[in-house]
Amino acid sequence: MTRAIEAAGIPTVQVMMYKEMAEKVHPPRVAHVKFPFGRPMGEPGNHDQHRVIAEDALRILEMATQPGAIVTLPYRWRREDYARIREERSARVG
């Protein structure tokens, strides 16, 4: 699906948990997370976590101008303080 969207001229990034699968199927751009199966954006209800992952995926779109990039995000399941990460990011911007 992402390749079809890219063919229409719209860049995409896919959040995936299995880097090996990304290397095999070659989606255009991948934000690789080390999260449990079925939870590519993180824990249900953890809006700070979802926002951080989405922001990182958008940064990959900016950074990886050509298809084929696989970027492993540094987060570990239930070990990060996503509210703090968001606060630090806003402090850098503001």
pLDDT per residue as tens, the chain (94 positions) = 888 999 999 999 999 999 999 999 989 999 999 999 999 999 999 999 999 999 999 999 999 877 789 999 999 998 999 999 999 999 987 6
How does DSSP classify residue 29?
A: E
Structurally, the chain folds into a number of domains equal to: 1
How much is the pTM?
0.89
Domain residues for 11? Answer: 2-93
* Whole-number Å distance between alpha carbons of 11 and 5: 7
Q: How distant is the alpha carbon of residue 87 from its chain centre?
A: 19
Q: Which residues are paired to 15 by β-bridges?
A: 31
